[in-house]
Amino acid sequence: MSARPAGPRVPRTVVLGATGLALTALAAEVLPRALGVPGDVLPPLSVILGALVAELPTPQFRAALAATVVQWGLGLTIAVVLGVSVGVVLGSVPWLRRLTASTVEFLRPIPSVALVPLAVLVLGTQLRSALLLIVYASFWQVLVQTMYGVADVDPVAEQTARSYGLGRWARVRHVLWPTAQPYVATGVRLAAAVALILAITAELVIGSPGLGREIAAAQSGGATALVYGLVLVTGLLGLVVNVGVRALERRLLRWHVSVRGEVAP
Amino acid sequence: MLEVRGLRKVYTSQDRTVEALRDITFSVAAGELVCLVGPSGCGKTTLLKCLAGLLGPTGGEVRVEGRSVNGPPPGMAVVFQEYGRSLFPWMTVAQNVELPLRHKGHGRAERRRLVTGALADVGLAHTPDAYPWQLSGGMQQRVAIARALAYEPHVMLMDEPFAAVDAQTRADLEDLIRTLWDRTGVTTLFVTHDIDEAVYLGERVVVLSSSPTVVQDDLPVDLPRERDQLDTRAMPRFTELRSRVYGEIRAAQRAASRPDGA
């Protein structure tokens, strides 16, 4: 064998990515010290991580992390179920789609955060308020993508199914749903990110339990390092969510062009 | 088995109407293999969709096994030209063939038997777990044919099924259709724009005119039942029939292009 180093070769992109991350971390450690930035504005990375590590084992932190994840998951699930079912119905009934199109286009751009006062007024500062915001923001992502997906059903595939006597429900299940799946997956991926943003926002602004409220609490207590530490955690959470949804997408959509790539017959 | 009487189809959009089919009358007896040939743009696909119950006619009637068609008839299978779109990319070859059987109410063992048998019949016994998009165009169309066969139809409609495959594959598939028809005796209506293909495959050829479409001619193909790509096509009788159909279609096109209409 040749004198190549033992073990599998690490891809170039991974090496570059890791190097970039290391350099950023180094900059975050060195620059605040070198520039003499005060510790209550931007502490060095080691101080931030130290504050975070001290926080990690506390029951308060764990409860906050769990609350955020639960709110996010619950809100996303409701939005996906609603978005997909409404999307399939609106997408497959042309007159209903035309009837609702203008309303959808009007309601969709309303930023969810603008509903905060309304949510607090009607539902109080509990979980329900946060859920309302999360569901409202992520619902549209799923709805719009699902409607695109339903519109993409191939007429030949549909005629094939009809000619073999598949009824309406069987066609929804075997033709419409698989066609819409890649679009729904995109919608879910977008919605997952939006839902996390809104979960943190709700906790920060409304004060529902979660990482956002911990950030606000740390801020009012002057614990700058911990504020940064918690922000890092929310970033990591977003990363995990994105990677998770992508992995799921690749698994479920093996057959789709975007996943399988070009296969030479 | 399949009767078409005075079939008429007019497409109406907001600002104009197009008469795709004017008056089509012909029939296919049980066990026959009939080719329907016509110039491009004569409404072959419209006619096929009316026969398959996918499109409602403006006038006239289609009857399959004595029953008037107003939706896809239960005993009919259709093979579409666009195999790549007619097969479902999210299902394997075997699942594609099996899907219609699930809705026909066959049990699991029966379905497996039909799927395996149909795939073997089209020469694809070895690829049940492949996805359609992993196969060549000719193989994909074989899968679509297997799906139709497994359905055990009483009537099979084929809409220019070989228009998109290369010449060699096309010859192989033509012989496959003859072989399968010989063995199963399923009533088959094969739509094509290719005159040679129509004469080579059919026991009878129905010639359509240009649009607005009527039946221009209906002639029996008195060639030996055993067809061969080289021998049959070299027969004087084959050439005669081919010339006759060709002449009919050219006459139809000339009539249609006259400014005062036919």
Looking at residue A93, which CATH number applies to its domain?
A: 1.10.3720.10
What number of CA atoms fall less than 13 Å from residue A143's CA on the CB side? 20
Distances (CA, A) of A80 to A88, A186, A219, A244, B76: 12, 11, 34, 16, 39
Q: Identify the residue whose tokens are 């997909």.
A: A84
The domains of chain B are located at: 2-75+154-257, 87-152
For A164, the closest of B89, B100, B137 (CB atoms) is B100
Please tell me the distance from the alpha carbon of residue B171 to that of residue B197, in angstroms, as a whole number.
9
Rounded distance, CA A151 to CA A156, Å? 13
Highest mean pLDDT among A117-126, B40-49, B185-194: B185-194
CB pairs under 8 A between A and B: 63
pTM strictly above 0.90: no
- Report yes or no on A73 lying in a domain: yes
> Is the CATH number 1.20.120.160 carried by domain B2-75+154-257?
no
B75's tokens: 């005993």
Whether B105 has its CB under 8 Å from any CB of chain A: the answer is no
Q: State the smallest CA–CA distance between residue B223 and chain A in angstroms.
A: 33
From A163, A178, A263, residue closest to B52, measured CB to CB: A163
> Residue B219: which H helix or E strand, with range?
strand B213-220
pLDDT at A263 over 70: no
Helices vs. strands in chain A: H and E counts, helices first: 12, 0
Comparing A32-41, A119-128, B94-103, B160-169, the range with the smallest average pLDDT is: A119-128
Nearest CB to A263; choose among B74, B99, B133 = B133
Quote the tokens at residue B148: 């139709």
Contact A256 B90 (CB under 8 A): yes
Contact flag B100-A166 (C-beta cutoff 8 Å): yes
Q: What percent of chain B clears pLDDT 70, i.e. is strictly above it?
A: 97
Give per-residue pLDDT as tens, B200-225.
999 999 998 887 888 888 899 888 88
The predicted model gives B238-245 an average pLDDT of 90
Judged by a CB distance cut-off of 8 A, whether residue A164 touches chain B is: yes
Beta bridge partners of A218: none
In angstroms, what separates the C-alpha of B165 from chain A's closest C-alpha? 13
A168 touching chain B per CB within 8 A? no
Q: Phi and psi (nearest 5°) for B105?
A: 90, 20
Identify the three-state secondary structure at position B67.
Answer: strand
Q: What is the pLDDT of residue A211?
A: 92
| Cross-chain residue pair B72–A256, CB shorter than 8 Å | no
Which residue's entry shows tokens 């070299």? B234
B80–A160 CB contact, under 8 Å: yes
How many domains are contained in chain A?
1
pLDDT at site A215? 92
Q: Is A118 on the interface with B (CB under 8 A)?
A: no
Residues of A in contact with B99 (CB under 8 A): 164, 166, 174
Tell me which of B50, B88, B165 to substitute to probe the interface with A (most A C-beta atoms closer than 10 Å).
Answer: B88
Q: Do B131 and A255 count as a contact with CB atoms less than 8 A apart? A: yes
Contact B145, B153 (CB under 8 A): no
Has the ipTM of the complex gone over 0.90? no
* Nearest-Cα residue of chain B relative to residue A155: B85
Q: State which residues form the domain around A164.
A: 68-214
Contact A204, A218 (CB under 8 A): no
Residue B38: which of B56, B20, B53, B55 has the closest Cα? B20
For B121-142, write each residue's pLDDT tens digit: 888 888 888 999 999 888 999 9
Residue A194 CB-density burial (10 A; 0-12 exposed, 13-18 middle, 19+ buried) = buried
How close is the nearest chain A Cα to the Cα of B226, in Å? 31
Interface check for B75 against chain A (CB to CB < 8 A): the answer is no
Chain B residues with beta carbon closer than 8 angstroms to that of A163: 52-54, 72, 76-78
Reported as a single tens digit per residue, the pLDDT across B73-98 is 988 999 999 988 999 999 999 999 99
User: What does the H/E/C string look like for A87-136?
Assistant: HHHHHHCHHHHHHHHHHHHHHCCCCHHHHHHHHHHHHCCCHHHHHHHHHH
- Looking at residue A264, what is its pLDDT? 47
Question: Over 90: is that where the pLDDT of B226 sits?
Answer: no
